[in-house]
């Protein structure tokens, strides 16, 4: 058998083992000891001082952001052993008033982890491509504060607007919503000329 065929068979066998481990064992990490929930708590406790400093300074920038998952946690896996907590927003709706079409409206929604476990936001998604949220990718310790920045691009969106952001986290229920609303003043339309 050719060497490349042996490599392909080996990779397929490894993939099958990983799939079986996830289906029946709750993930490969559970086969080797600590639960995912315990690992999350340990990780959050180890970095609590650093996270609080980042929150106070507002230093959550794109270099601290990943794909929405904390490495090794399987946060997006249904039934994962992740302890739940609670989130409280300072405001859930922001009305920007009137904006000219083509401008980008920005707002920061501040929140507090009001529970007793680290808050892990695994995703935040706008109701359309024109609404882009940015959220902290590190766990927010109990009592800690955080920010979700939302940008709404008004290009091609004249009229009354209401855009929702769905925030998915280790809360019950897992989804919470924040909203940006307002009126977009459309650009002047050129007068159409009649056909000759």
pLDDT tens track for 86-97: 999 999 999 999
Shared domain for 93 and 164, answered yes or no, is yes
Give the count of domains, the chain: 2
pLDDT digits (tens, 9 = 90+) for 32-43: 444 454 555 554
**Residues 85, 54: contact at Cβ < 8 Å?**
no
Asked if residue 15 has pLDDT above 50, the reply is yes
Question: Same domain, yes or no, for 89 and 54?
Answer: yes
pLDDT score recorded for residue 162: 96
pLDDT computed for residue 135 by the predictor? 97
Domain match, 52 and 143 both: yes
Q: Is residue 140 part of a domain?
A: yes
Q: Is residue 190 part of a domain?
A: no
> Do 75 and 24 belong together in one domain?
no
- In this structure, are 158 and 97 located in the same domain? yes
As a 3-state breakdown, the chain gives helix, strand, coil percent values, each rounded to 5, of 25, 35, 40
Same domain, 116 and 138: yes
Lowest mean pLDDT of 17-31, 84-98, 152-166, 175-189, name the range: 17-31
Question: What's the rounded Cα separation, in Å, for the pair 139 and 84?
Answer: 12
- pLDDT score of 1: 55
Question: Average per-residue pLDDT in the chain?
Answer: 75
Q: Are 172 and 142 found together in one domain?
A: yes
Are residue 71 and residue 22 in the same domain, yes or no?
no
pLDDT for residue 19 = 65
Q: How sure is the predictor about 128, in pLDDT bands with cuts at 50, 70 and 90?
A: very high
Whether residue 193 is contained in a domain is answered as no
Q: Which residue has the tokens 């920010």?
A: 147
> Do both 81 and 10 map to the same domain?
no
What pLDDT is recorded for position 20? 72
Asked if 22 and 54 sit in the same domain, the reply is no
**40-65 per-position pLDDT tens digit:** 555 444 444 444 433 333 333 333 33
CATH of the domain at 110: 2.60.40.10
In this structure, the answer to whether residues 103 and 8 fall within a common structural domain is no
Question: Model-level pTM?
Answer: 0.57
- Give the phi and the psi of residue 118 in degrees, each rounded to 5: -60, 140
- The average pLDDT across 121-149 equals 96
Residue 195 lies in a domain: no
Q: Which one-letter DSSP state was computed for residue 125?
A: E
In a domain, 191, yes or no: no
Does 10 share its domain with 71?
A: no
C-alpha distances in angstroms, 41 versus 60, 100, 143, 190?
20, 46, 14, 60
Tell me: the pLDDT tens digits for 136-177?
A: 999 999 999 999 999 999 999 999 999 999 999 999 899 999
Range of the domain at 20: 3-33
């Amino acid at each position: 058998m050719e060497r490349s065929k042996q490599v392909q068979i080996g990779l397929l066998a490894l993939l099958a083992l990983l799939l079986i481990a996830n289906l029946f064992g709750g993930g490969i990490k559970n086969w080797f000891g600590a639960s995912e929930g315990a690992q999350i708590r340990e990780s959050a406790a180890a970095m609590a001082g650093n996270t609080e400093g980042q929150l106070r300074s507002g230093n959550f920038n794109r270099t601290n952001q990943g794909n929405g998952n904390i490495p090794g946690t399987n946060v997006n896996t249904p039934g994962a052993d992740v302890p739940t907590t609670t989130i409280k927003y300072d405001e859930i709706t922001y009305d920007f008033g009137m904006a000219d079409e083509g401008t980008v409206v920005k707002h920061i929604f501040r929140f507090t982890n009001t529970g007793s476990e680290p808050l892990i936001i695994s995703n935040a998604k706008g109701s359309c491509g024109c609404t882009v949220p940015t959220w902290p990718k590190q766990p927010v310790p109990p009592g800690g504060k955080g920010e979700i920045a939302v940008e709404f691009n008004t290009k091609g969106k004249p009229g009354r607007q209401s855009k929702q952001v769905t925030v998915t986290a280790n809360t019950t229920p897992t989804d919470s919503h924040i909203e940006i609303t307002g009126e977009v003043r459309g650009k002047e339309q050129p007068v159409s000329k009649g056909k000759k």
